[in-house]
Every structure is written in structure tokens, then in C-alpha cells.
Structure 1
Amino acid sequence: MIGTWAVGGAFVPGARGRRAFITVIPCLWVLGALCWELLTPHDTEVVPLLAAAPAIACASSGRRRCILLLGGASVLFALGPPSTLEPDGDVEEPHASLVSCGAILAVVVASYLTNGRRLRLVRELEQLRAVAAAAQDAVLRPLPARLDGIEMAAGYLSASRGAAVGGDLYEVLATAHGVRVIIGDARGHGLGAIGTVAAVLGSFREAAHDEPELTDVMRRLDRALQRHLHERALGDPPAGEEPRTPVAEEFVTVLLLEVGADGELAALNCGHPWPYLLSEEATGEPRAHRLDLGEVLPPLGPFALADDLPAARGAPLQPGDALVLHTDGAEDARDAHGTFFELGPALVKAAGTGPIVPATVVDGVRSAVLRHTGGRLADDVALLVLRNEAKTG
């Protein structure tokens, strides 16, 4: 199960209410202009303000029918006789109303043509978003709700608007060697990091099945990343930039995790935060504490892997307990005062009392992060919750 989190956190009215309000704006403008015309002295010329109504309709609702209706109504009002409140209406300028009508018609035509171009651009944007969504789903595939006795849920919050994925990555696979998990963070965020994410995930999806040892899986990931960076460095650099070298600044933090049949844990960590263990106490209250399974190696990319890469071993994941894997964007998130987000307490609050439900934990942390940051994220955030479904005792 995967949830793509939308950036934002402030309360906004429903979509139906917004659409209704936007549609009413140009009507209010026309009504205001007419009231002004009726209630001000006869020498105050307000009718030309009606010419703005079609332009406002184009900018707000964007509906051609609304533009034409408001334009037609404005022309009729401009051609109408002086109001009874203005008995001395100006008759010495018979062409004034025609000039106002001409201005209104010109604005209607310009707004109509502009709206047509706008609609074409909107359709193209919707097509591009559909293509991008399909590509993003291929890179960061939706996870199943359950896999070999592990209940799971994942969520991703991109710091770049319009992007569903970015520099964070994760995957869970059932293999002959156990359930294997990867979570990582490529340098940068948003769409610019997707190429690196695709290279690492593509390698993991093959190596996790082929290699019996986590050490060999990590070496395969490192080789795939080096090839990707080398190929990228050979390409043409952006205008005004020097050619990029393969390993000068690019890196990826990676945590590999293996859950055996009886919950045994094995891990290999290259520069990534260790996960939290979320467990249910005898009282029914949840408890979260960070696991420390051993040495953290340098991230992949800048440095060669050591010859000796022993996988760390941890206590088995007990039935009902959950592992919470995350990227550093979760704990680096800050509010307007620069206060960091506290992930541990947020996990406890999101879990609530009773059995741990991964999807509930993910949704609770999502809401907490957005409230804390006000929807303004400096980095991508990924969260992956894995619960041992085996029955206790």
C-alpha cells in the first residue's frame, strides 16, 4: 500500500465552494459597476468599467460561455437608456455608448481567444501529468498491503510541487532469502533525482533475488550507481556549467534490510538513518525507539565500498511489532521557527492504542509533518512501515 502525500496543510474550502465563488466574481463586478452608475452623479461615467467583466471571467472561471454571457449583458447595459436616477443623462455625446460597446466587444474577443489558448495549454498539461504519473509509478511501484507475513504501508511526500516522487526511494520484495527491503535518499529532491532513483531501484529488483548475501546486493547497487553517474557525466552539461564528474558530488544513502521467516533481522547501512521499532506494550500503549544495528558506512557514490562488509544482525522482529523506515527529510522538517520535527513522538501518537496498523501510522505521520511545516518542505519525505503479522503466543 502506498500513499502519495500532497504538499499543503492549511485549511482550504471544498472544490465546489471555490468554483462557485470564482464564477460569482465577474457577476459581482458587473453588479458593482451598475450600482455605482445608478447611485453616483450623472456626470460620473462608470459604464466603461463593464468592459473588464469578460476579462475577469476569463481570468477566474475560464469558461467561454461565461465570457460571452457577461459580454452580452455588458453591451446591453451600455446601450440602455440613462437611469431614472439620472434625469439629466448625457445626450450631447450620442456616440459614448457605442464607444463603450466597442471596448466591451474588443475585450470579449480578446478574452475568448486567450481562453482558447489557455484551454489547449491545460489539456497539454493534463496529458503531461498523466505521462509523468505513469513514469513515476513505474519507478516507485505501489506496494502490496501484505507480503509473506509482513503487513506494510508506505507514503511519499515530494518537496517539488507537481512531482509524486523525487530523490527518495524504497522497495519491498519477497525473495528466496527472505523479505528484502531497501530505503534510500539520492542527493537532491524532486524530478531532478528520478534518474538516480531509477538506476538504484532497478538494480535492487534484480540483485535482491539473485544474491544470497546482503553484502553482494549492496555491491551490485554500488556498481549500478557508478555506471549511471558515469553515463550522466558523459552527457552534455547544462548551459553555463562545467562537465560533471561521476562521483564528485553525487551520492545515495541506502539501508538494506532482510526479514527472515521467523522475524530475524539483517541489515547493511550506507549513510542512512536507522529505523524505529514500534512495539505495543503490555498496557496497550505503543512505544517507539530507534534501532542501532551497528556501524553506518559512507553513502554510495563518493567512496569505494570496503572489502569487508559484514551485515549487522538484530533481535527478531516480534509478532505485532513494526519497523518504521524513513528518510532524513522526516526528521529534518522544520516549522516556521526552525524547530525540527520529532518523529519518535509522532509515531507513538499516530499508532494509538491497540494493534499497530501500518496505514494508520503512515497517515498520522503525514498529518503531523504537514501541520509542523505548514506544507512547506525543504526535502522529500518517505516513510515505510513493516509489521510482523504473526500471531502472538
Structure 2
Amino acid sequence: MAATKPQRSHTVLAWLPVAVMATVAVGDVLTGPGLGFLPLASLGPAFAGLVGGWRRTAVFGAAALLLCVALGLYDGLFQERRGFMAMVSVIGVTGAGIAAAVMRGRREAELANVRSIAEVAQRVLLRPVPLTAGPLQAAVSYTSAVAEARIGGDLYEVVASPHGVRVIVGDVQGKGLAAVETAAVVLGAFREAAHEEPDLVRLGERLERSVARVLEGEKFVTAILAEVGADHKAVFLNYGHPPPMVVHEDGTADFPRPPAYALPLGLGGYGDGSPRPFPVGFAPGEQLLLYTDGVSEARDDRGTFYPLGERAYLLKEADAQSALDSLREDVVRHAGGPPHDDAAMLLLRYHSHAPEESAAVG
């Protein structure tokens, strides 16, 4: 397998001190002491500090010092100050490189701790969704736009409640810890209300009250709620969120939109009334994809949005998670790299246990 770009870059940096010191040695021998190559030996330990720990820097510093002494004796530079000044230069750069390597090692350890905390926070905030919930199979994909982060402002959840399978996908305005805190409030309220509220509209009203208590000013959360029962329908409440994508058995895709969008969660006080639920047919063999705008608004280098509807065929794979992973990889290819916004996707597949049950009875 061919080496990746980061691996090639690391290899180049690892061999750079050796190449520099060899160039200094050859240049000094060929040109003599007149051009003053000797102080450049300090570049060896300087470049050694770019990768590896302080021990690597110290080893290259010792090698550079030996090289400096050898070339100084060869050129007869210790009869004057030039040879000693070159040695002092190597020792100084090596000491600075060792200090920098120690500090970098501490920062890397701190970053590893932060990553570990972020992973724990993700498991608490964005728990793995159940692989099956009622008549549905579920799979999720989440990518944070924040460098080195595992969590962000997008949220999702699937709850098998006494009132049907209830789902939420949302996008908190903003990024960082404040967005994560708001996402935690929304998910906590949804997980509780999904079991207690028999009506989807009342569930949404409860979320609105919870979000309004913690958000200040004109901050908000776009979200879409869905409820799937046993009547081959999915009922939606859309709070200013991108429309869901329904993929039919023949591979065609629809984006059902509500008669009127509700204001995002947190802005309900500026509107006039509750959102209206709207039903959409959702039968066995069909798929439902809920997503955030980090997917639908991903752009290529020409500014073209990701054509989600044209990529519905990627969801044909038998395994739901593999199908969703293929779609995520296609989004990354379209954008030419990591997303500039958090991107969450939740895939639901409607399946039926009727054939298995019939076989069991027979």
C-alpha cells in the first residue's frame, strides 16, 4: 500500500538532519574553511527537534558536535576562535532544541488527555443509537469541524418509546463548548420527553421551553423531529432544518418539505403558534436519511453544493453502517478535505419481521 502524505512528510523530516549534516561535511571538505560551513552543523539538531523526543535531539546534537570537532581539526580552526564559536553554536542550538522537544511532549500529552475527555463526553452526549428500534434499523455518522475534536454542535438520538420510534437530528448555532452544552440540554430534554409526551407537537413544545431557558439573545437550534409508528408513515416536525431524504425501493429520492417551517428551537417566542406536523409515507424497504447542513452545504472548489439526492444510490449497500460510511466518504471527496462545518447523518431503514415470524410458526 502506498504511503500517505502525512507518512511521507514524517519520513522526510526524520531524515532531514542527516541530510543537512552530510551536506555540511561534504561542502566543508570540498571548499575548505574559507566559506565557513562549520556553524551550519547546528542545523542537524535544530531539524531533529521537529519530530521525535528530546533524546533524538540530544543524539543529533552530540553527532553535530563531533562533526564540528572533526571538521575544525581538519580545517585547523581551533587555532583561532572560529572553531570554538562553531561548537558553542551547536551546543546552544541543541539545548534549545531539547527544551522545545520537552515542551512539545508535554503539550502532546495534554492534547491526548483532552482527546480522551472528548471521547468520554461524546459517549455521554451522543450515545450509540440502537441498531434496531421497532421496525427500524439505524446507523449514524458524525464528523466535527473543530480540529482534533470528537464532538461539536450537531446532535442526534433515536428513542423507542411507547408512542413509536422517535428521532431527533439538530444543529446548534455556533461551535465550541457553548454549542456542546446546548446540545446536551436538547438531548436530555428529548430523551425524557420522548417517553412521556404522547403527542409529537407537545414533545416539540417541551424542547422549545428547555432550549429557551438556556439560550440567550437570538441563539437557536435547528432541528427535525420524526415519529415512526406501525402505520407505514413517518410524522415530522421541522424547526428550520434541512428536509429529510426518503429513499424508495427503486432508488429514487424525495425531500418532503412541511407546509410551513417553524422557527428554530429557542426562537419560538418570536413566532405565532406551534409547528404543524406533516406525515410522509415510509414503508418497508424504504430508507430515511436525516442530516445537518454540514452535509447538504458541503461545497467543492467551484462552490457547488453536495448533490445529496444524486448520491442516494450509495445507500444501496446491504449493511446500513457501511452504506452511510460510503456516503460520508463521498461528501469528504466532494469537499476536497475535512468539513468546514459539523456534519451529522442518521440513516433509518424500514424492515419487516413478518417473513421470519411466518417461518418460525411453520
TM-score above 0.5, yes or no: yes
Q: Would the aligned equivalents of 1:329 and 1:380 in 2 still touch at CA under 8 Å?
A: yes
- The 10-residue stretch of structure 1 (148-157 or 17-26) with the greater mean CA deviation from structure 2: 17-26
Aligned to 1:365: 327
Aligned residues: 353
Question: 1:41 offset after TM fit, Å?
Answer: 4.0
CA distance in 2, matches of 1:80, 1:126: 42
Alignment-derived partner of residue 312 in structure 1:
278
Residues 322 and 356 of structure 1 are in contact (CA less than 8 Å); yes or no, is this contact kept in structure 2?
no
CA offset at residue 170 of structure 1?
0.9
Residues 91 and 361 (structure 1), Cα distance of their counterparts in 2 relative to 1, 3 Å cut: closer
Measured in 2, the distance between the counterparts of 1:64 and 1:189 equals 36
Using the TM superposition, name which of 165-174 and 212-221 deviates more.
165-174
Q: Which amino acid aligns with 1:100?
A: A
Cα 1:148–1:43 change in 2 (3 A) is same
Deviations 1:287-330 (A, max 9, x none): 22212354322222223365555432222x22221101111222
Shift of 1:366: 1.3
Unpaired segments ≥5 residues, structure 1: 1-10, 230-245
Query: Does structure 1 residue 69 correspond to structure 2 residue 59?
Result: yes
Confirm or deny that 1:49 pairs with 2:40: yes
Matched residue type, 1:21: V
Post-superposition CA distance 1:154-210 (Å, at most 9, x none):
111222212222222110011111110011122123444112111111100000001
Which has the higher mean CA deviation after the structures are superposed, 327-336 or 13-22?
Answer: 13-22
Does residue 300 (structure 1) correspond to residue 265 (structure 2)? The answer is yes
Cα RMSD between the aligned structures? 2.4
Deviates more, 1:74-83 or 1:254-263: 74-83
SS of residue matched to 2:4: coil
Determine if contact 1:159/1:190 at 8 Å carries over to the other structure: no
Matched AA of 1:321:
E
Amino acid at match of 1:76: L
Which fold has the larger relative contact order, with Cα–Cα distance below 8 Å and residues 6 or more apart in sequence?
1
Q: Which residue of 2 aligns with 1:30?
A: 21
1:13 equivalenced with 2:4 (yes/no): yes
Deviation of 1:30 (Å): 0.9
Tell me, yes or no, if the aligned pair for 1:278 and 1:287 is still in contact at 8 Å. Answer: yes
Provide the residue aligned with 2:294 in structure 1: 329
Contact 1:163 1:191 in 2 (8 A): no
Deviation at 1:221, TM superposition (A): 0.1
The superposition leaves residues 58-87 of structure 1 with CA deviations (integer Å, 9 ceiling, x where unpaired) of: 1x213222212211111111111569xx8x
Q: How does 1:116-195 map to 2 (within 5 A)?
A: 116-195=102-181
Q: Percent identity?
A: 34
Q: Under a length normalisation based on structure 1, what TM-score does the superposition of the two structures give?
A: 0.82
Query: For the Cα contact (< 8 Å) 1:158–1:381, is it kept in 2?
Result: yes
Tell me the CA shift for residue 21 of structure 1. Answer: 2.9
Counterpart code for 2:42: A
In structure 1, give the amino acid aligned to 2:224.
L
- 2-side partners of 1:70 and 1:173: how far apart? 58
Unpaired stretches in structure 2, ≥5 consecutive residues = 356-362
Amino acid at match of 2:312: L
Give the superposition deviation at 1:137.
2.5
Distance 2:141 2:207 in 1: 23
Is the counterpart of residue 266 in structure 1 residue 257 in structure 2?
Answer: no
**1:340 partner amino acid:** F
Once residues 335 and 255 of structure 2 are traced to their aligned partners in structure 1, the CA distance between those partners, rounded to angstroms, is 23
CA distance in 1, matches of 2:150, 2:238: 26
Deviation string for 1:236-292 (max 9, x for gaps)? xxxxxxxxxx3x3211112111111353322222211221111222xxxx2222123
Q: TM-score, normalised by structure 2?
A: 0.89
1:351 corresponds to 2:315: yes
**Matched position secondary structure for 1:43:** helix
In 1, the alpha carbon distance for the partners of 2:152 and 2:326 equals: 22
Higher-helix-fraction structure = 2
Match of 1:215 in 2: 201
Indicate yes or no: 2:342 matched with 1:380: yes
